[in-house]
Amino acid sequence: MTNGDDTAAVLAAVAHEFKNALAPLGMTLQLIERQVQTGQPVAAADLAFSRAQVRLLSSLVDDLLDQQRVDLDALPFRPAPADARAVVGEAVAAFRRAHDRAVALELPEAPLMAELDPARLRQVLANLLENADRYAPPGSPVTVRAQPAAAGVRIEVSDRGPGLGPQEKARIFQRFVRGAASRGTSGLGLGLYLCQAIVARHGGQIGVDSLPGAGCTFWILLPNA
């Protein structure tokens, strides 16, 4: 495709994702409005669904803005010596509050000091956890590990999803690329692209170990502080 074709395809995908989020949100808000007008109690499930759709829309906008900032080399980045162990724990705690998914957390007793931006590392981990939740079978566990590595810190997020074939693995960190198992799920295919860009700003590496049918382990290597 030409660049114009690429742009048109991306815009169509963005519009599709926004419509998919907005249409049910609008219908649910209309239902809540009728409940209020008729004096009925507002259903907690309707409020929870509306909040989830708003979070989804906000996430889509944030990803688009961050993708533009990455491309312009203008992504805010504030590194400082910090305990990666604590940041991983915070990211997992936030994920547990928002999702009905078991997460096994394996952390060492000693701090894992690294030069990092805690907010950006939490963003990376949130993306990896959302990715695992999106593709892994319902009820299957996700495992998060952090441990010392040669001259740095290694963080892993493992799931029991469908895994990736060689061609998917080669493209998975590119912009607007989604795995074959993504059919029927929301997202723009920017999460892993942003993860790679943020880890690169830390001077680190990110990758994935996976086989079809055997789940995925996304790993991050960060240099010591």
**Do 44 and 84 reside in the same domain of the chain?**
no
Verify that 48 and 87 share a domain, yes or no: no
State how many domains the chain has: 2
The kind and range of the H/E element at 163 are none
Average pLDDT rounded to a whole number, residues 64-92: 92
CA atoms lying within 13 Å on the CB side of residue 178: 16
Q: What is the pLDDT of residue 183?
A: 46
For residues 52 and 143, state if they share a domain.
Answer: no
Residues 105 and 192 occupy one common structural domain: yes
Which of residues 17, 51, 71 is at a domain's end? 71
Let me know whether 139 and 45 are in one domain: no
Q: Which residue range forms the structural domain that includes residue 94?
A: 80-223
- DSSP code per residue over 93-112: HHHHHH----EEEE--SS--
Q: Give pTM, 2 decimals.
A: 0.79
**Statement to judge: residues 53 and 111 lie in one domain:** no
Summarize pLDDT for 96-145 with one digit per residue, the tens.
988 888 999 999 999 999 999 999 999 999 999 999 998 888 889 899 99
Task: Give pLDDT, residue 98.
Answer: 83
Q: Are residues 100 and 59 in the same domain?
A: no
**120 in the same domain as 182:** yes
> What is the bridge-based pairing of β-strands 152-159 and 142-149?
antiparallel
19: phi then psi, degrees, rounded to nearest 5 = -65, -40
